[in-house]
Structure 1
Amino acid sequence: MRLIVFAMAIVASLQGCGRRAPEPAVLEQIEAQDAARIAALAAQVVTYPDFGDDDPVEWDRRAPQTYPVHGIDVSRWQTDIDWQQAQRAGVSFAFLKATEGGDVADPMFATHRRGAETAGVPWGAYHYYYFCRSAEEQARWFIRNVPRGASLPHVLDMEWTPKSKTCRLRPHGRDVRREARKFLDLLEAHYGRRPVIYTTVDFFADTGIGTLHDTEFWLRSVAAHPQKTYPGAYWVFWQYSGTGRVPGIEGPVDLNVFRGAPEGWIRWQER
C-alpha cells in the first residue's frame, strides 16, 4: 500500500510539473512489489490459533474460529504476561487499557506496552469513558498517559456504567454521539489516526453510536455472532470471549478477532 501511494504521489508530482508520468508497466511493477511485500508479512502471522475458554460457546452462526487473525485486550488484571509465548501461540494484536475517566491510569499499561513491543505484537491503547467528565478532559488525560508510536489506532471504550461508585449517568444518544466525536477528533489530531470505538450490545442499541460517520467499531458479543446481536452493523474487531485462555497469560483474558484475512490485516495496519 505504501509503495502504491508513493507511486501515485510521484505521478501527481510529475504531472504537475508537466513531465511525463511513469508508464503503466512501471506502476504495475510497483504494485506487484507491494503485493509481494504484503504477502510476505502476512505469511508471518500465526493464524487460526487454538485458544482455550473457561466458558465455551456453541456458536449458532459463524464461529470466531473461522477467522484467521486473533488478538487480546488486557488491563491490570492480567499481570505477568509472557508476550513472546503469547505471540507464538497466535496473539496477533493487543489492545491495552491505558486510562479511564479523567484521573485514572492503568498501572500495568507501560509494562504491557513494553512487553508487546518487545515481542513484536501490534498494540493500541484504550480509554474507558465516564459521562461525568467532558470529552476534552478525558482526551487530554489519555494523551498525557499514552505516548505516540502505537502500531494500531487507539480505542474509545463506551458502555453504560451501572456498577460504578462515582458515575452512573446515561445521557441521551445525541449527547453520547456528540461527546464521542469530540474525543475521536482530539485523538485523531494528536496521533494522526482516528480511534476505533468499542461498545456493547445495549449501549449500541440505546445510543445510536453506530451512526457515527468515518468511525470503525470493535463490538462485544460473547454468545452469538455480531451479525445476530448487531444487525446490519459493520465491525472491524469482534470480542467473542471474556474467559479465554492463552499460553503465556495466567488466568482468563478477553479474546478478539479481526474481520479479514492476514493480507487485509497487514494493509489495515498500514493505512
Structure 2
Amino acid sequence: MSKLIADVSYHNGVIDWNKVKAAGIQGAIIRCGYGDNIASQDDKQFKRNADECTRLGIPWGVYIYSYAKNTAQAKSEAAHALRLVAPYKGKMSYPIYYDLEQRGTESVAVQNGIVFGDIVEAAGYWCGIYSGQYWYQKYIGNRLDRFTKWVARYSSQKPVGISGSYDMWQYSSSGSVPGINGRVDMNEVYRDFPSEILGGGSSTGNGPRQIPGDPINDMGVKYRAHCQTIGDCPEVRDGQTAGTTGFGKRLEALWISLEEAARKLGVDLRLKGKCHIQGTGWVDLGYITKETMIGSKGQSKRLEAISLEIEGLPEGYELQYRTHIQTVGWTGWVAAGFASGSVGFRKGIEAIQIRIVKK
C-alpha cells in the first residue's frame, strides 16, 4: 500500500499536527534523538510530536541519527532510542529506523546496523535502516537486507541499484505541508506497516511478512505492480498490497511468480488466466510465468479485472486474490476461477493482494 508520510525533527519547529492530518498526510517518522544515550541529545520536539501523533491517531515511528564509530556506540544509540520510545510501546505503528549516513562511519556502518538491529528487535520493536541510495550501493549492499529499508533519493525517479526491495522512499527534502513551517522531508511508503506491526508481524525485511488473520502467510507467492506516474513498484508477497490506495492512481500492469511457492509445496504449479484492459476488453493470457505482463505499460490504460486459475495445487490449499477498485475500495477475497475487479463501470484496479491459504 503506497502512503504519503513526512519525517520530522526539532528543526521543523512546533508542528500543528491537526493541520498535518487534515492535509492528508498518512503517517510520520519522528526523530527521537541522535548519537549516544545522553539526555542532551534527545530531540527537543520528540515527546510533543509523539504525543500529538498518538492523540490524533496518526501512525508513526522514529529514527535516530547515528554517529557511532564502533559497536559500543551503536549499543548506546540503541539504548537511546529504546529509552525514548519505551512509554509508547504498543502505540507505534512504524519501525525504529537507524539513520546511517554520517561521514567517517562508512566502514563500520554495517556492523553497527546489525548490533543496533539485534538490540531493538530483542526489545520487541521493528528495526529499519535508513540511508541514501549512494550509501546503499557503495557501503551497505545486501548486508542489512534482513531489515526493512528506507532509501533516500531526491528525484522524480525512484532509487535504483539497491539490493533486494525497499519499503519506503524519501523522495524530497523540500516538501510543503500545512501545519509544518518551512520545508519538510517527504516519503512514499509501499508497505502496510500499521497492519503488520500492530498485528504482531516479523521485523526482518526478507522474512515472512505477516498478515493478521491469514492461516498461511509465507507460501512464496510473489507479485509486483506497475502504477500510473509511479512506474514499477517493489515486489511484494503473500497477501501484501501491490499498487496504491488513496491516491487515485491506476494499476496498469502486474507480474506474478509462483516459483517459490512451488518449491515450498514440492509440486509443479501452473498459473493461467485472463485480464480485462480499458478499451481492449478481456485478454486471454494463457499460462502465466514471472515474465508474463498482465495488463499494459506505456498506454495509460486501466487494468480493470483479473481472473486466475491454478493447476497442481495440493488438496486443502486455495489460491485467493482481491482487488482495490477506484472509488469503491477493496472487494472480497475470491478463489481461483473467479474474476475480481470491475467490468463496464469505467473503474480501474488500484491495488491487488494475492495469497495461497489452507482451506
- The whole-number CA distance in structure 2 between the counterparts of 1:180 and 1:209 is 12
Q: Deviations over 1:145-189 (max 9, x none)?
A: 22223222211111133xxxxxxx2342xx321211110010111
Q: Does 1:72 align with 2:6?
A: yes
SS at match of 1:240: strand
Using the TM superposition, give the Cα deviation of residue 250 of structure 1 relative to its aligned residue in structure 2, in angstroms: 1.6
Which residue in the other structure is 2:166 paired with? 235
- Aligned residue number for residue 294 of structure 2: none
Bigger-Rg structure (1/2): 2
Matched residue, 2:117: 184
Give, in whole Å, the separation in 2 of the partners of 1:186 and 1:146: 14
Using the alignment, how far apart are the partners of 2:141 and 2:54 within structure 1?
Answer: 32
| Aligned AA (2:74) | A
Aligned twin of 1:196: 128
The match for 2:83 is 144
Alpha-carbon distance in structure 2 between the residues aligned to 1:266 and 1:200: 24
Code of the residue aligned with 2:16 in structure 1: it is D
Identity %: 26
Cα distance, 1:265 vs. partner?
5.4
Which one has more relative contact order, counting CA pairs under 8 Å at least 6 apart? 1
Which has more strand, going by share of residues? Answer: 2
The amino acid of 1:123's aligned partner reads W
For residues 147 and 42 of structure 2, the distance between their equivalents in structure 1, rounded to whole angstroms, comes to: 25
For 2:106 and 2:169, the matched residues in 1 are separated by: 25
Tell me the CA shift for residue 204 of structure 1.
Answer: 1.2
Corresponding residue for 1:51?
none
Other-structure match for 1:43: none
Mean Cα displacement is larger for which, 232-241 or 142-151? 142-151
Q: Deviations over 1:90-137 (max 9, x none)?
A: 111100001111031110000111111111101111110113352112
Question: Which of the numbers 62, 71, 88 marks the counterpart of 1:125?
Answer: 62
Structure 2 residue 139 is the aligned partner of structure 1 residue 207: yes
Q: Secondary structure of 1:160's match?
A: coil
Aligned 8 A contact 1:73 1:253 in 2:
yes
Counterpart CA distance in 1 for 2:2 and 2:133 is: 24
Distance in 1 between residues matched to 2:69 and 2:146, nearest whole Å: 26
Partner of 2:45: 108
- Aligned counterpart, 2:180: 249
Cα 1:202–1:117, aligned 2, differ >3 Å: closer, same or farther? Answer: same
| Aligned counterpart for 2:98 among listed residues 152, 156, 160 | 156
Structure 2 Cα separation of the partners of residues 257 and 117 of structure 1: 21
Are the counterparts in 1 of residues 93 and 193 from structure 2 also a CA contact under 8 Å? no
Task: Find the counterpart in structure 2 of residue 220 from structure 1.
Answer: 152
- Deviation string, structure 1 residues 24-67 (Cα, Å, up to 9, x no partner): xxxxxxxxxxxxxxxxxxxxxxxxxxxxxxxxxxxxxxxxxxx8
TM superposition score normalised by structure 1: 0.65
How do 1:31-110 residues align onto structure 2 when only pairs under 5 Å count? 68-102=2-36, 103=38, 104-110=41-47
- Structure 1 residues 141, 206: closer, same or farther in 2, change over 3 A? same
What is the alpha-carbon distance in structure 1 between the residues aligned to residue 34 and residue 141 of structure 2? 19
Unmatched segments (≥5 aa) in structure 2: 202-359
CA–CA distance in structure 2, aligned partners of residues 244 and 170 of structure 1: 28
Instruction: Pick closer, same or farther for the CA change 1:227–1:202 going to 2, 3 Å.
Output: closer
Deviation at 1:237, TM superposition (A): 0.6
**Count of residue correspondences:** 191
CA RMSD of aligned residues (A): 2.0
- What code does the residue aligned with 2:143 have? T
Q: Hey, what's the Cα distance between the residues in 1 that align with 2:33 and 2:169?
A: 21
Asked whether the equivalents of residues 158 and 171 of structure 2 are also in contact (C-alpha less than 8 Å), the reply is: no
The answer for the alignment partner of 2:74 in structure 1 is 135
Query: Match for 1:170 among 97, 102, 105?
Result: 105
1:171/1:236 CA distance change after superposition, 3 Å: closer
C-alpha displacement at 1:266, in angstroms? 5.0
SS class of match (2:29): strand
Letter paired with 2:62:
A
How far apart in 2 are the matches of 1:115 and 1:127? Answer: 19
Distance 1:68 1:186, change over 3 A: closer
1:98 counterpart SS class: strand
Structure 1 contact 129–159 (Cα < 8 Å) conserved: yes
Contact 1:176 1:209 in 2 (8 A): no
Matches of 2:179 and 2:93 in 1, distance apart?
Answer: 22
Amino acid at match of 2:167: V
Change (3 A) 1:266 1:111: closer
Q: In 2, Cα distance between the equivalents of 1:106 and 1:137?
A: 16
